[in-house]
Amino acid sequence: MINLAAIAYSLRRDAGEPLFVQLCEQIRRRIVDAAPGTDSRLPPSRALAAELGISRSTVVAAYEQLAAEGYIEGRRGSGYYVRDLAGSDPAPANTVALRRDKPRPTTDGAAFSHPGYPDPRLFPYRRWARSLARSARLTPEALIVSQSRFGDPELRVSIARYLADWRGLEVRPEQILITAGSVDALETCIRTLSSPGQTIGLENPGYQPLRNIADNQGLGIRWLPLDGDGACLPNAAGPAPGMVVLTPSHQFPLGGAMPVARRLEYLQWARDHGAWLVEDDYDSEFRYAGRPIPALTSLDAAGRSIYIGTFSKVFSVSLRLGYLIMPLELVLPFEHTLSRFGVKAALPCQRALAGFIDSGDFYRHIRRVRRIYADRRRVLVDGIERRLARWVKFEDHQAGMQITVELAPDFDDREIAALAQARGAPVTPLSIYYAGGGERPGLLLGFCPHTPAEIETQIDILAEILAAQAR
């Protein structure tokens, strides 16, 4: 039985971390350390707050974070309960990952705008210009001379610090490969770790360019359907995939976070089958409630995970820079791939980006745009509930850069998207992201690049189109 009573916790107001973070970490640790299969009920938030002498909102924030991470679940009218982690080999969320001692879219000719773009009007042009100028003045050789195929060494150090702060990943700079965005990173993973004729596991629905890369490399695709916990594990039928690509922190395109139990099951599956898990963490900075969910890779004590991040979402699409984190044993295989196929990541901006991160300007930019995007998301959610609720249903995951709404089966989402785009409402049909069956109609509604007034106008356009289609 897990001891979840108030006496089990020790909170310090003079500590560097907020009280809800301390409480969250202590509950998480007790859940992970407990015997699997327990169905313990957490104390009511009001009672626990009174016993600890803290506000109820502090307890609620901790519970909501743990629920988002999948450690606990809320039951209507009954409170929160610990989720069953049986069948997995739990590792604490702050496990040092990867450190080992061994060396978007078109269809039928109609183009649809990608819903997950940032707003270029919010880009910190002056601060970025200063960082570029400083880099060119102090280290002009860094603009054209590369010391490593893996990218600028200072940027790799900066990314390592950033990941430790933001995603709970402790990695060495030599494990980091700078890429030309997430697509380049995914392609490099497939070239390095797969061979033609092998099988790769992909989410269905999922990211279209990844499907195209797998096809071009001659890989067989095992489609992984989604349930309430994210991508289902590959079943025993047929050969096991040698690699599975997941979006566990915010599934694309449906949204939602993979709970810790399913993450641990995937890590156990990867160990059992000698397979690789590729974690595409494309927009984890944009979580609008609680703290960022720990990366799947942070739970990986066996080093079977490769982590991919990008600056395209949080900073600029035009920068075309991302990064890939690998176990140390894969450094030489990845370097061999780069020697065969070349380096695609542009060099001139890398040193400037390192300075931008180290100066704190990058963190300030994230906080600013996340606050603005949160306001825009609220406008979109309100508009959906007021104007579109009779035709659509959706789940607000309070994360990401778009909201996916589901339509009734008799709606043609591609036709609706084309009509909306023709009238200046850039939406994307959900059906184009399916390839392995189970296709459902829906729409992806991006909110980040649009002002509240623009969002309201687009909602009005969609409401008119859906009303006409329903008739």
Alpha carbon 339 to its chain's center:
29
For residue 146, the model assigns a pLDDT of: 85
d(CA 18, CA 21): 5
- Does the pLDDT at position 90 exceed 70? no
Is residue 40 domain-shared with residue 132, that is, in the same domain? no
Q: Taking residues 73-88, what's their average pLDDT? A: 77
d(CA 325, CA 334): 11
For residue 107, the model assigns a pLDDT of: 36
Question: Which tokens go with 61?
Answer: 């924030």
Exposure of 184 in the CB half-sphere (CA atoms within 13 A): 23
For residue 313, the model assigns a pLDDT of: 86
For residue 419, the model assigns a pLDDT of: 94
Domain contains 96: no
243-246 and 276-280 strand pairing: parallel
Q: Taking residues 427-456, what's their average pLDDT? A: 93
Domain contains 94: no
Q: What is the CATH number of the domain that holds 38?
A: 1.10.10.10
For residue 389, the model assigns a pLDDT of: 94
Is residue 392 domain-shared with residue 353, that is, in the same domain? no
d(CA 434, CA 272): 29
Is residue 257 domain-shared with residue 342, that is, in the same domain? yes
**pLDDT tens digits, residue range 316-350?**
888 889 999 999 999 999 999 999 999 999 999 99
Task: State the residue for tokens 């356009």.
Answer: 461
Question: Is there a contact between 258 and 70 (Cβ–Cβ < 8 Å)?
Answer: yes
d(CA 266, CA 86): 13
| Region of poorest pLDDT, from 98-112, 413-427, 436-450, 452-466 | 98-112
For residue 16, the model assigns a pLDDT of: 66
Strand, coil or helix: 280: strand
| Last-in-domain residue among 316, 340, 362 | 362
For residue 85, the model assigns a pLDDT of: 67
Domain contains 180: yes
Domain contains 97: no
Radius of gyration of the chain from Cα atoms?
A: 23
d(CA 455, CA 424): 11
Is residue 337 domain-shared with residue 406, that is, in the same domain? no
Helices (H), 140-259: 153-166, 182-193, 208-216
Domain contains 29: yes
Question: Is there a contact between 351 and 140 (Cβ–Cβ < 8 Å)?
Answer: no
Question: Which tokens go with 376?
Answer: 């825009």
Question: Is there a contact between 405 and 446 (Cβ–Cβ < 8 Å)?
Answer: no
| Region of poorest pLDDT, from 156-160, 209-213, 230-234, 380-384 | 209-213
**pLDDT tens digits, residue range 146-189?**
889 999 999 999 999 999 888 888 999 999 999 999 999 999 99
**pLDDT confidence of 231, banded at 50, 70, 90?**
very high
Is residue 308 domain-shared with residue 439, that is, in the same domain? no
| Last-in-domain residue among 53, 82, 111 | 82
Is residue 281 domain-shared with residue 159, that is, in the same domain? yes
Q: What is the CATH number of the domain that holds 248?
A: 3.40.640.10
Q: Taking residues 125-141, what's their average pLDDT? A: 94
* Percent share of the chain, pLDDT over 90: 62
**pLDDT confidence of 230, banded at 50, 70, 90?**
very high
Domain contains 112: no
For 296, the domain range is: 120-362
Query: Is the preceding omega at residue 234 within 30 degrees of 0, hence cis?
Result: no
Phi and psi torsions of 442, nearest 5° = -175, 180
Total of domains in the chain: 3
pTM equals 0.81
For residue 100, the model assigns a pLDDT of: 37
- Does the pLDDT at position 122 exceed 90? yes
- Does the pLDDT at position 95 exceed 80? no
For residue 103, the model assigns a pLDDT of: 36
Is residue 249 domain-shared with residue 176, that is, in the same domain? yes
Question: Which tokens go with 345?
Answer: 């990541």
For residue 268, the model assigns a pLDDT of: 96
Mean of per-residue pLDDT scores for the chain: 87
Q: Taking residues 303-317, what's their average pLDDT? A: 91
For residue 98, the model assigns a pLDDT of: 41
Is residue 195 domain-shared with residue 301, that is, in the same domain? yes
Q: Taking residues 395-408, what's their average pLDDT? A: 93
- Long-range pairs, 57-62, Cβ under 8 A, ≥24: 58/19, 58/20, 58/23, 59/20, 59/23, 61/20, 61/24, 61/290, 62/20, 62/21, 62/23, 62/24, 62/27
For residue 328, the model assigns a pLDDT of: 96
For residue 99, the model assigns a pLDDT of: 37
| Region of poorest pLDDT, from 79-83, 194-198, 287-291 | 287-291
Q: Taking residues 349-366, what's their average pLDDT? A: 95
Q: What is the CATH number of the domain that holds 393?
A: 3.90.1150.10
Q: Count the neighbouring beta carbons within 10 Å of the beta carbon of residue 365.
A: 18
Is residue 281 domain-shared with residue 399, that is, in the same domain? no
Is residue 371 domain-shared with residue 356, that is, in the same domain? no
**pLDDT confidence of 113, banded at 50, 70, 90?**
low
Domain contains 105: no
For residue 434, the model assigns a pLDDT of: 95
- DSSP letter at 401 equals S
Look at 14 and 47; give whichever has higher pLDDT: 47
| Last-in-domain residue among 362, 388, 408 | 362
Domain contains 334: yes
Q: Taking residues 364-391, what's their average pLDDT? A: 95
Is residue 321 domain-shared with residue 371, that is, in the same domain? no
Burial of 381 (0-12, 13-18, 19+ CB in 10 A): middle
Is residue 341 domain-shared with residue 374, that is, in the same domain? no
**pLDDT confidence of 49, banded at 50, 70, 90?**
confident
For residue 327, the model assigns a pLDDT of: 96
